[in-house]
Amino acid sequence: MKLTGSKILLESLLLEGVETIFGYPGGTVINIYDDLMDSSIKHILTRHEQAAVHAADGYARATGKVGVALATSGPGATNTITGIATAYMDSIPMVVITGQVPTGLIGNDAFQEADLIGITRPITKHNYLVKDVKDLARIIKQAFYIARTGRPGPVVIDLPKDVQMAITEFEYPEKVELRGYKPTFGGNVRMIEKAVKMMLAAKKPVLYVGGGATLTDAHAELMALAETLQMPVTTTLMGMASFPKRHPLSLGMLGMHGTYYANMAVTNSDVLIALGARFDDRVTGKISTFAPHAKIIHVDVDPTSIKKNVRVDLPIVGDLRDVLKKMNKKLAEHKDEVVQENEAIKPWLKEIAAWRKDHPMSYKHSKTEIKPQFVIEKLRELSNDDAIVTTEVGQHQMWTAQFFDFTQPRTFLSSGGLGTMGYGLPAALGAQAAFPERQVIDVSGDGSFQMNSQELATLVQYRLPVKIVILNNNFLGMVRQWQQLFFDKRYSQTCMELPIDFTKLAEAYGATGLRATKPEEVEAVIKKAFETPGPVIMEFKVSREENVMPMVPAGAGLNEMVLAS
């Protein structure tokens, strides 16, 4: 069958199982948009290309499938950059398709030309400029394969306009052949056996779980390992929802704004088992005092993550879920040792319980002011267990991580690596597009919300009933907190002088706006929001100078937490 490049693209997407894409049209993708009218692929028109990419990212994080975004050349393509970098840092499988000026004009500073391949090289897992329509089907096949296998990541396909119009025989390849790309799937059995021995012999083990657990859907295997060996579990922001926080073995999050007891447990551990985590500086604090007594086992699919920041005693390269399965299987052969280990570990669990009792995750309640943490607790109480929560970046993000008890995998979507303000709303949009029936909530600050607030229009247009929580402190709160603590309260450019009426903003877009200014109104507003069809903004006027605590100051060790400000 002979087809144009543009039709080949859409047919190939269908063959990859793509149902929904997010995008924004323009001159160099006008052919694709024309063909989209006759395609069964659903296209969601965001109001900004950055949002299209974040929406594809949210879709991918919520479903585990590859997210797809489409943008025109030049300014459309450069608008995707923050979205691509966000996905790259958090290893999110995604394919971004951009139009490009015709091949004959490339390099001529043509109208709406930008060297997207050059610009995105360091923020993609791989990228392609398609120069010949004959290569297109193969490139799409490879792009999807690369995006979702190994350590997932975004792949860019830059598609010149003349290639979209050129005609060739369409045949979608069955297999991918890449000489230079052979991701490791199964972990080395001998190493896994060694790891199991180390865990069985440990007196003070801690499981430190990162985004890899989410990406490989390893929650059941993780639970089995933790419960068999009665090992406490701490997660990073990215690993958050892969182990239920209400579980007795859960220590919550570790790191800069983690729990006191998670950080103490890591510091005092004798075996630290890092699972799909990359020892980010926000997690480790000062490297020299990070888990100083521990032998470190590190399981990761990406060899470059291993020994990048910390010494590792036992590296295992492989797909986390596969490795955990093998570990659990091995453990089943060591029933007696498991019983002994469960006994030997009891004093350690007691020690941790004492830390937890001394310094639980808490905050000062108030009768007069709305405490942001209180809103998050109420939100958890009043939302469904399978509600998907996205966040922007700042204090509200950390409070959500600290006070929302996530119980199900893939229910917490947040920009961990890049820390992108403006991520949450479009990510919620993407998640809601994937799961129209589930509750989807974006927890935002008043600053972050204004970075992509135009997406209210998209929510209303496509009837995506995302519930938006704005913890309004009229500050760029997280930066203000640092200025308070480390810059003598010199609040340089962090006060949002102009108060915005967010309820009116919601109404302008045809959404619903609700507001609470007193603690006793919080519950009613949240309930009302969940009862109201369509997108709703809930604006909470929260205590303005509340700080995220506890905190490991930048450059300090995990054992040097400041507990209250």
Ligand X SMILES: Cc1ncc(C[n+]2csc(CCOP(=O)(O)OP(=O)(O)O)c2C)c(N)n1
396 binds ligand X (CB under 6 A): yes
Q: Are 525 and 370 in contact (CB under 8 A)?
A: no
Region binding another protein by CB under 8 A among candidate stretches 40-48, 102-110, 168-176, 297-305: 297-305
423 binds, among ligand X, another protein, none (CB under 5 to 8 A by kind): none
419 binds, among ligand X, another protein, none (CB under 5 to 8 A by kind): ligand X
Does the annotation mark 49 as catalytic? Answer: yes
Does the annotation mark 373 as catalytic? Answer: no
Taking the C-alpha atoms of residue 74 and residue 72, their distance in angstroms, rounded to an integer, is: 7
Taking the C-alpha atoms of residue 20 and residue 59, their distance in angstroms, rounded to an integer, is: 9
Q: How far is the CB of 187 from another protein (least distance, A)?
A: 17
Region binding another protein by CB under 8 A among candidate stretches 103-111, 122-130, 379-387, 517-525: 122-130
> Of 302, 305, 295, nearest to 273 (Cα)?
295
Q: Which of 388, 471, 506, 522 binds ligand X (CB under 6 A)?
A: 471
172 binds, among ligand X, another protein, none (CB under 5 to 8 A by kind): none
467 binds ligand X (CB under 6 A): no
125 binds, among another protein, ligand X, none (CB under 5 to 8 A by kind): another protein
At residue 356, the 3 state secondary structure works out as: helix
Taking the C-alpha atoms of residue 238 and residue 275, their distance in angstroms, rounded to an integer, is: 12
Region binding another protein by CB under 8 A among candidate stretches 38-46, 114-122, 165-173, 365-373: 114-122
Q: Which of 98, 267, 391, 420 binds ligand X (CB under 6 A)?
A: 420
518 binds another protein (CB under 8 A): no
Q: How far is the CB of 142 from another protein (least distance, A)?
A: 8
Choose, from 11, 49, 113, 221, the residue flagged as catalytic.
49
- Phi and psi at 60, nearest 5°, equal -65, -45
272 binds ligand X (CB under 6 A): no
> Of 349, 81, 87, 77, nearest to 226 (Cα)?
349
Amino acid, res. 318: G
Does the annotation mark 361 as catalytic? Answer: no
304 binds another protein (CB under 8 A): yes
Q: How far is the CB of 412 from ligand X (least distance, A)?
A: 16
Q: How far is the CB of 403 from ligand X (least distance, A)?
A: 13
134 binds, among ligand X, another protein, none (CB under 5 to 8 A by kind): none
Region binding ligand X by CB under 6 A among candidate stretches 54-62, 212-220, 256-264, 440-448: 440-448
Residue 329 CA from chain centroid, whole number: 30
Taking the C-alpha atoms of residue 542 and residue 56, their distance in angstroms, rounded to an integer, is: 31
Choose, from 7, 65, 125, 161, the residue flagged as catalytic.
161
Residues in the chain: 565
129 binds another protein (CB under 8 A): yes
Region binding another protein by CB under 8 A among candidate stretches 255-263, 298-306, 418-426, 483-491: 298-306
Q: Which of 42, 203, 293, 308 binds another protein (CB under 8 A)?
A: 308
Q: Are 540 and 470 in contact (CB under 8 A)?
A: yes
**Which of 193, 302 has the CB closer to another protein?**
302
Q: Helix, strand, coil shares of the chain as percentages rounded to 5?
A: 45, 20, 40
Within 13 Å and on the Cβ side, how many CA atoms surround 290?
24
Q: How far is the CB of 491 from ligand X (least distance, A)?
A: 12
> Of 219, 243, 258, nearest to 403 (Cα)?
258
Does the annotation mark 478 as catalytic? Answer: yes
Choose, from 42, 111, 340, 346, the residue flagged as catalytic.
111
17 binds another protein (CB under 8 A): no
555 binds, among ligand X, another protein, none (CB under 5 to 8 A by kind): none
**Which of 355, 502 has the CB closer to ligand X?**
502
**Widest distance between CA atoms in the chain:** 72
Q: How far is the CB of 180 from another protein (least distance, A)?
A: 4
Q: Which of 104, 107, 303, 499 binds another protein (CB under 8 A)?
A: 303
Q: What would the 3-class secondary structure string for 159-220 be?
A: EEHHHHHCEEECCCCCCCCCCCCCCCCCCCHHHHHHHHHHHHHCCCEEEEECHHHHHCCCHH
Does the annotation mark 111 as catalytic? Answer: yes
Taking the C-alpha atoms of residue 146 and residue 220, their distance in angstroms, rounded to an integer, is: 26
178 binds another protein (CB under 8 A): yes
Inter-CA distances, 313 with 80, 204, 270, 295, Å: 40, 16, 12, 6
264 binds another protein (CB under 8 A): no
448 binds, among another protein, ligand X, none (CB under 5 to 8 A by kind): ligand X
Taking the C-alpha atoms of residue 477 and residue 133, their distance in angstroms, rounded to an integer, is: 50
Q: At what angle do helices 477-486 and 395-403 cross, to 10 degrees?
A: 100
Taking the C-alpha atoms of residue 497 and residue 462, their distance in angstroms, rounded to an integer, is: 33
Taking the C-alpha atoms of residue 514 and residue 547, their distance in angstroms, rounded to an integer, is: 25
Give the residue numbers annotated as catalytic, written as ranges. Answer: 49, 111-112, 161, 478
The binding site for ligand X (CB under 6 A) comprises 392-396, 419-422, 445-448, 471, 473, 475-479
The binding site for another protein (CB under 8 A) comprises 117-118, 121-122, 125-126, 129, 131, 146, 178-181, 302-304, 307-308
